[in-house]
Amino acid sequence: MPDGDEGSRDAAAHARGRLISAVDVVRGRLSAATLPLEGTGAAEARARRHDILAQIDDYLLPRLRSDGAPLLVVVGGSTGAGKSTLVNSVLGAALTTPGVLRPTTRSPVLVHHPADAPWFAPERILPTLTRVHTTVAAGGSSVAERDGTAASGVRALRLAPFAGMPPGLALLDAPDIDSVEVANRELAAQLLAAADLWLFVTTGARYADAVPWELLRAAAARHAQLALVLDRVDAGSDAVVADLRRMMVEHDLGDAPLFVVPEAGLDADGLLPEAAVADISGWLTDLGGSADARDDVALATRDGVLTDLAEAVRGVAAAADGQAASAARLRQIVEAAYAEASSQIATATTDGAMLRGEVLTRWQDFVGASTFMRSIERGVSRARDAVVSFFRGGEPDAKPVELAIASGLEAITIDAMETARERVRSAWRSDPAGAGILVDAGATAGVTGVSTADVRSAIAEQIRAWQGDVLAIVQEQGADRRGLARGLSFGVNGLGVALMLVVFGSTGGLTGIEVGVAGGTALLAQKVLEAVFGDDAVRRLTAEASERLTRRLGSLLDADASIALTAVTALALSESAGDELRDAAEELSRASADERRARVVNAPRAASPVPALRGAHLRGVDLAARGVSAEASDAPTTPGPAEEPRKPGFWQRLLGRQG
């Protein structure tokens, strides 16, 4: 073989492999982009994503990976259009089950030539549908299921091998697209999306319905190959046929074949007369008899799906951008609410509010405020003497002051935390994305996560730990002041609560504190500490105690905020998902374009006429008109050398192949 031909084939194989890889990447990106948050257009985007993934799995990857696979013709249409009867009449055997009750097709039937069974038995196409193998009874008049899967309500694909089906062609009878059962409508759409070719059946009473035209418009937009059948047409209904042709032109389907099946009685086997289905049978038989024609249909539909896929992925990318923006907005709401809570606590613990009420009363009881205040007024040296004398007199009980401080801190922290929670709940309720999380997790648990009792317990634990920190700081500082060690042995708790009060008066001491009850309380506490440790040490101790309080209460706020933040993080939204999807769509477009160019260069072919029909042909086909003798029609079904027909078939005439 010439090196140029071999090089072209290698280039085509490489381009095909690159295209398959690009589709695989798109599939992976789509699988990761779950779009879990609610919002404008989110439900539609999720549905579109689901449909894209289904079509990739059901149709696109199987078609790309299987050169030479039979052409799948899906027969779909409206309720009561007579699809099953039409399929049976074309086949000449009752392989599907028409009925009076709607919907009639609960388990779709895929009819194929026995030689094509290896293509459909495994989950190559429609992998989510369980396979149910069937056998055709003598004469091809019935189908017996080998198991009860379909009867059990499980979605299944009934495989019906039939010697009368042309090799290389398969017919799939789908459920009604407008079925009253949602599951059937979804299955019908899934099957149509997996088709190489649609055979769309409607009636004179239903042809203008909105639901069929929504699907047909989508098919036309991606250049899907299809044909329409106007079934059960009464004599004198030319106006109906003309109106349907007009609608086809308006919806860019003017080139699609239209078959008109007249209203006719059924024979004893429940089949339409041969003449009524002759054109459809001839069209399908011609298609089955020409590998070139089948390739043209498969490639045209596949290319259209690829073009539509790239654009659809860009739409999902835009939705992923919206999801990332929604997640960022929800996180910002939480962060702002808890930042405000932190500020609220900081203000309440440094503006003197803690130095009133119960804390003030217990402190005054503890130190005997009037005596100390008079000592302070006479000078710091006398205050120092009073402090030492006070603590040498025995260890006072500082516990009531500690409890009062703990109670006040707990109230401040709970108030700030509950305020933050309510801000988050309120903001999330008014945001579709946040409201969805609250609904999924429960209106309270979705943000707070823990009960009020548990929160109080956690807050109390951190406050006790902070008070322990303060006492440890005082002990450490007192150990360094050896001259006061004897006096401090009875006053660690007292000095600890004094340091706590100074923290509540100001993070840096009493500078700027107003004169008054609260200021006097903090002033007294500061003077006590200065008398023991000195000015510089008090400022350092105050800063350290304040920092530890901020860190401990801040950890409580962070833990509470993290529950809401985790609810967003758990959705596994990626800020880069939109960009990754767009990149995948761009690579898909490039790979698809390169594959088409390589395909054209690699496999130029002249139009070839229909090979002689050998063996399998559909009911009603006029063999003589196609130049096939009766002997040839009864020959074995194994494909043999093509014979030149005297007249091209319908499909070749449609494609402009005149031989």
pLDDT per residue over 494-552, tens digit each? Answer: 888 888 888 887 644 444 444 444 556 667 778 878 878 888 888 899 999 999 999 99
**What is the count of structural domains for the chain?**
3
Say if residues 353 and 515 touch (Cβ distance below 8 Å): no
Residue 4: what pLDDT? Answer: 59
Say if residues 610 and 648 touch (Cβ distance below 8 Å): yes
Residue 227: what pLDDT? Answer: 94
Question: Which among 551, 616, 604, 642 is positioned nearest to 111, based on CA atoms?
Answer: 616
Structural domain includes residue 187: yes
Q: Which residues pair with 110 in a beta bridge?
A: 159, 172
Q: What is the mean pLDDT of residues 119-140?
A: 75
Spatial CB neighbours of 249, under 8 Å, sequence gap ≥ 6: none
Residue 372 pLDDT grade (very low, low, confident, very high; cuts 50, 70, 90): very low
Spatial CB neighbours of 142, under 8 Å, sequence gap ≥ 6: 94, 136
Residue 185: what pLDDT? Answer: 84
Of 16-25, 407-416, 635-644, least confident by mean pLDDT is 635-644
Q: What is the mean pLDDT of residues 43-52?
A: 94
Of 345-349, 580-584, 593-597, least confident by mean pLDDT is 345-349
Residue 618: what pLDDT? Answer: 86
Rounded to 5°, angle at Cα 79 from 165 and 81: 55
My answer on whether 112 and 177 are in the same domain is yes
My answer on whether 484 and 589 are in the same domain is no
Structural domain includes residue 282: no
More confident residue, 52 or 397: 52
Q: What is the mean pLDDT of residues 99-120?
A: 73
- Longest distance between any two alpha carbons in the chain, whole Å: 133
Residue 374 pLDDT grade (very low, low, confident, very high; cuts 50, 70, 90): very low
Start-to-end Cα distance in the chain: 27
Residue 644 pLDDT grade (very low, low, confident, very high; cuts 50, 70, 90): very low
My answer on whether 323 and 241 are in the same domain is no
More confident residue, 651 or 549: 549
Burial class, 602, CB count within 10 angstroms (exposed 0-12 / middle 13-18 / buried 19+): middle
Report the run of H or E that residue 478 belongs to, with start and end.
Answer: helix 452-480
For residue 358, give Cα distances in angstroms to 167, 311, 400, 516, 573: 94, 69, 10, 16, 49
Say if residues 522 and 504 touch (Cβ distance below 8 Å): yes
Residue 653: what pLDDT? Answer: 38
Report the run of H or E that residue 20 belongs to, with start and end.
Answer: helix 3-32
Written in H, E and C, the secondary structure of 316-351 is HHHHHHHHHHHHHHHHHHHHHHHHHHHHHHHHHCCC
Q: Which domain holds residue 489?
A: 349-573
Structural domain includes residue 652: no
d(CA 390, CA 406): 25
Residue 186: what pLDDT? Answer: 84
Q: What is the mean pLDDT of residues 40-60?
A: 93
Residue 75 pLDDT grade (very low, low, confident, very high; cuts 50, 70, 90): very high
My answer on whether 310 and 389 are in the same domain is no
Residue 1: what pLDDT? Answer: 45
d(CA 288, CA 91): 13
Residue 316 pLDDT exceeds 70: yes
Residue 626: what pLDDT? Answer: 53
Backbone phi and psi for residue 144, each to the nearest 5 degrees, phi listed first: -115, 125
The single-letter code of the amino acid at 491 is G
Q: What is the mean pLDDT of residues 604-617?
A: 48
Q: What is the mean pLDDT of residues 271-283?
A: 92
- Buried/exposed code over 632-647 (b: 16+ C-beta within 10 A; e: otherwise): ebeeebeeeeeeebee
Q: What is the mean pLDDT of residues 442-451?
A: 52
Q: Cα torsion at 533, 537, 538, 544 (round to 10°)?
A: -130
Residue 632 pLDDT exceeds 70: no
DSSP letter (8 states) at residue 140: G
Q: What is the CATH number of the domain that holds 94?
A: 3.40.50.300
Residue 370 pLDDT grade (very low, low, confident, very high; cuts 50, 70, 90): very low
> Taking the CB of residue 399, how many other CB atoms lie within 10 A of it?
12
d(CA 512, CA 489): 33
Residue 448: what pLDDT? Answer: 53
My answer on whether 425 and 538 are in the same domain is yes
Sign of the Cα pseudo-torsion (346, 347, 352, 354, in order):
negative
Of 159-168, 324-333, 588-597, least confident by mean pLDDT is 159-168
Q: Pull the structure tokens for residue 51.
A: 């449909």
Burial class, 653, CB count within 10 angstroms (exposed 0-12 / middle 13-18 / buried 19+): middle
Residue 27: what pLDDT? Answer: 97
Residue percentage of the chain with pLDDT more than 90: 42
Residue 602 pLDDT grade (very low, low, confident, very high; cuts 50, 70, 90): low
More confident residue, 264 or 523: 264
Structural domain includes residue 648: no
More confident residue, 27 or 626: 27
Of 193-197, 432-436, 649-653, least confident by mean pLDDT is 649-653
Residue 78 pLDDT exceeds 90: no
My answer on whether 20 and 146 are in the same domain is no
Residue 482: what pLDDT? Answer: 53
> Taking the CB of residue 128, how many other CB atoms lie within 10 A of it?
11
- For the entire predicted model, the pTM comes to 0.74
Most confident of 57-61, 131-135, 217-221, 471-475: 57-61
My answer on whether 405 and 483 are in the same domain is yes
More confident residue, 23 or 444: 23
Q: Is 386 helix (H, G, I), strand (E, B) or coil?
A: helix
Structural domain includes residue 564: yes
Beta strands in 33-173 (DSSP E): 71-77, 109-112, 130-136, 143-145, 156-161, 169-173
Distance from CA of residue 343 to its chain's centroid? 38
My answer on whether 134 and 237 are in the same domain is yes
> Taking the CB of residue 154, how many other CB atoms lie within 10 A of it?
12
Say if residues 632 and 613 touch (Cβ distance below 8 Å): yes
Spatial CB neighbours of 245, under 8 Å, sequence gap ≥ 6: 254, 258
d(CA 396, CA 363): 11
Residue 289 pLDDT exceeds 90: no
My answer on whether 371 and 514 are in the same domain is yes
Residue percentage of the chain with pLDDT more than 70: 76
My answer on whether 142 and 203 are in the same domain is yes
> Taking the CB of residue 568, how many other CB atoms lie within 10 A of it?
23
Residue 580: what pLDDT? Answer: 97
Residue 369 pLDDT grade (very low, low, confident, very high; cuts 50, 70, 90): very low
> Taking the CB of residue 525, how many other CB atoms lie within 10 A of it?
27
Residue 81: what pLDDT? Answer: 87
Residue 318 pLDDT exceeds 80: yes
Residue 368: what pLDDT? Answer: 66
One DSSP character per residue, 166-215 reads: PTTEEEEEPPPTT-SSHHHHHHHHHHHHT-SEEEEEEETTTTT-HHHHHH
Q: What rounded mean pLDDT belongs to the chain?
A: 79
Residue 17: what pLDDT? Answer: 94
Structural domain includes residue 551: yes
d(CA 299, CA 304): 8
My answer on whether 98 and 247 are in the same domain is yes
Report the run of H or E that residue 232 belongs to, with start and end.
Answer: strand 226-233
Q: What is the mean pLDDT of residues 197-202?
A: 92
Say if residues 199 and 73 touch (Cβ distance below 8 Å): yes
Structural domain includes residue 334: no
My answer on whether 270 and 142 are in the same domain is yes
d(CA 35, CA 316): 9
Report the run of H or E that residue 550 belongs to, with start and end.
Answer: helix 535-569
Structural domain includes residue 291: no
